[in-house]
Structure 1
Amino acid sequence: MNAPVIDLTGITKTYGIGTPVETEVLHGIDLRLAEGEFAALIGPSGSGKSTLLNLIGLLERPTSGRLSIGGRDTATLNEAEITQLRGRSIGFVFQFHHLLPAFSAMENVMMPTIIARGAADDEVEATALQLLDAVGLKAHAHKKPGELSGGQQQRVAIARALALKPRLILADEPTGNLDTHTADDIFALLREFNRQTNCACLIVTHDPRLAARCDRIVRLVDGQIADDLPTA
């Protein structure tokens, strides 16, 4: 089996600790995702999917349990190290693309590398252009997000997520606000990059058609993994 990119053991997450509204949202999550795996995370609203994705994406810290990314125990890392690990190892794609409206498509794709390196150069620009070409938007490289369709904006977001060649792609309802045809195209792009780069992908989706096209389906119910099964 390929090496685990994410490894969660006994993960819990509690909000409002010590207050009358203290609530445990995740209850002892065990989950591993290996290089090259493409998994769907499904479950009803309120089941804890977004919280789990935020923890894996290092946007929040678990209350207890062990969370490793690429073999590194995140509990041993300070905030600067967490930020660096997140920036270099994880690519994010959200339902709403969160592109910077004042910047062109190419500049948006370059942004993670600029943040990581502190500056842009010809190589960074060339990589951004290659990624936009790969998602079919090379001709729109200098357009701003407001000049692009919803599907095109999501393609830019995917290119941006891949800018630093992350080991892990986290996608939270990436096709949730798109029509069926465009959603299929976006999913196919993610799948293609997964195969080309061997990155691990964890996709939150409410679309059973898309979930069935993943390698495995992890179903979260009431903050616990109800089942974790291969699709084939």
Structure 2
Amino acid sequence: MIALHTMNTMPTPLPSTPLLELRDVRKSHQIGTALETEVLHGISLRIQAGEFCALTGASGSGKSSLLNLIGLLESATAGDILLDGQSTTGLTSAQRTRLRGRSIGFVFQFHHLLPAFTALENVLMPASIAHGRPSPAQCQRAQALLHRVGLRGHEHKKPAALSGGQQQRVAIARALLLSPRLLLADEPTGNLDSHTAAEVFALLREFSHEKEQTQRSACLIVTHDPHLAARCDRQFVMQDGRLQPESDTPAASLR
């Protein structure tokens, strides 16, 4: 709520807390040895709820390292990563795991489906891990997500019976099941034909606007596709472990 100091004073909007904030984040490997190497050099960025952002850059520029840090899969050497205003520095492994499971969804470059389970069971896996047994509402959402990514009629097929593109769509539905606050996607349309890729892109965009205004989510997509990146709200460009200055501008203004 915004307080009014006098009857004639216009309210001043309070600054919103970024959904994701990185403050001078650094990452080094082989720390303390003669081969110590810093791969991320002071990364700072903010992503607000409702934003749909792209992370681009050449191979080896640091995109995957940055995504692993944001996803709490690895720890930064220095700096801080905040999710919904909560600092993740100093969290125990168990606390990081709980926060990751509650707030972050992943779509990796490779689908990582469990071969012994059906497509529907794979989509429901986050709910099974979190709650022991999916609720009827979660089962209904899983079905709906599979339909929305073009897999109606494939719900009870195991991964071996699906094409590579179909398996990736299952992975996308799985990432969206629990409506995480932050979705991280590494080349999510890389194995899809152009028509299906456009449908999946639209689904991911819809995800970031799915909840009420106070609970809207955000999406960060790693992509090599300049056309896809240009359709995002903002584009972050990595080069040699650093964010380029122009990367924090609206994607539509990039040339």
Q: Shorter-chain TM-score: what band?
A: over 0.9
Most deviating of 169-178 and 123-132: 123-132
Q: Equivalent residue of 2:19, what SS?
A: strand
Letter in 2 for 1:50: S
2:78 corresponds to = 64
Consecutive unaligned residues of structure 2, counting only runs of 5 or more, are 1-14
Q: Distance in 2 between matches of 1:196 and 1:121?
A: 20
C-alpha distance in 2, partners of 1:179/1:61?
Answer: 35
Cα distance, 1:2 vs structure 2: 5.0
Cα distance in 2 for partners of 1:123, 1:200 equals 23
Q: Which amino acid aligns with 2:241?
A: G
Partner Cα distance (1:30, 1:205) in 2: 20
Partner in structure 1 of residue 228 of structure 2: 210
**Which residue does the alignment assign to 2:3?**
none
Q: CA-to-partner distance for each residue in 1:123-175, whole Å, 9 max, x for gaps? A: 43223222223323232111111222222222211110011110000001112
Secondary structure, counterpart of 2:221 in structure 1: strand
Contact 1:101 1:144 in 2 (8 A): yes
Q: Which residue number in structure 2 is paired with residue 222 of structure 1?
A: 240
Task: Quote the RMSD (CA, aligned, Å).
Answer: 1.5
Taking the aligned partners of 1:40 and 1:73, their CA distance within structure 2 comes to 23
Cα pair distance change 1:144/1:185, threshold 3 Å: same
Which sits farther off after the overlay, 116-125 or 203-212? Answer: 116-125
Corresponding letter in the other structure for 1:49 = K
> By how many angstroms is 1:121 displaced?
4.1
The structure whose residues are more often strand, as a share, is 1
Q: TM-score, normalised by structure 1?
A: 0.94
Q: C-alpha separation between the residues in 2 aligned to 1:122 and 1:201?
A: 26
- CA displacement 1:178-209 (0-9 Å, x = unmatched): 33333223222211222324320000000001
Map 1:66-105 → 2, pairs under 5 A: 66-105=80-119
Aligned counterpart, 1:199:
217
What aligned pairs does 1:47-196 form with structure 2 within 5 A after superposition?
47-196=61-210
The range that moved more, 195-204 or 52-61, is 195-204
Rg larger in structure: 2
Aligned pair count? Answer: 232
Distance 2:40 2:25 in 1: 7
Report percent identity of matched pairs: 62
Would you say the 8 A contact 2:149–2:199 is kept in 1?
A: no
Task: Tell me, yes or no, if the aligned pair for 1:2 and 1:35 is still in contact at 8 Å.
Answer: no
Note the alpha carbon deviations across 1:107-130, whole angstroms, 9 max, x for none: 001100111112234343223222
Equivalents in 2 of 1:129, 1:25: separation in Å?
41
- Distance of 1:133 and 1:165 partners within structure 2: 16
* C-alpha distance in structure 2 between counterparts of 1:230 and 1:155, whole Å: 28
Shift of 1:93: 0.7
CA distance in 1, matches of 2:170, 2:16: 29
CA distance in structure 2 between the partners assigned to 1:84 and 1:47 by the alignment: 29
Partner amino acid, structure 1, of 2:52:
F
Gaps of 5+ in 1: none
